[in-house]
Amino acid sequence: MKNLLGFILLPAAILLVGLLARSMNAETIGPHGGKVQRADNYFIEMKRTNLIVHAYLLDRKQAPLGNRNLSCQAWLYYPDSTIYPLGMSAQGPDGFFGIVPDTYYTSIVIMFNADGKHVSATFENTKLVVQFIRKHETTGLLAEN
């Protein structure tokens, strides 16, 4: 009986631990399909499509806030410590967008001014690693000796 109980409980415990670990590492996807980060009592959603960055300020329930009384700023951070200010313009009823000059930045900081309060979040450029590998695969720098 002990072996049967252990046989049932062990896989259940492993499954539970796996699900918990997966949920801790899962990225939160916002209502516009972008990555979401917590910013004080708000959430900030960022979505990049090609060279356009979209930003949205979300409430506590992750519902979009209208952009009429908001302002948005963003900065791109590069590996050589260069910081590039990204102009953000209102788009639609609840978003902002900016055109990035290239995709080689390491992170982007997005800041909203909501009711006189500044809230910001940092988003890592996870596509940078893929671009670096693809670029050097074509030059042969990553070829095995």
What the chain holds in terms of domains, given with CATH numbers, is: 35-134 (2.60.40.1930)
**What is each CA distance from 58 to 22, 51, 64, 68, 131, in whole angstroms?**
24, 23, 4, 14, 30
Q: Block means of pLDDT (10 residues each) for the chain, length 145 residues?
A: 52 50 58 95 94 96 94 96 96 96 94 92 80 54 47
Residue 43 near residue 30 (C-beta atoms within 8 A)? yes
- Cα 53 to its chain centre, rounded Å, is 11
Write down the pLDDT at residue 3. Answer: 57
Write down the pLDDT at residue 139. Answer: 57
What's at 123, amino acid-wise? F
Write down the pLDDT at residue 22. Answer: 40
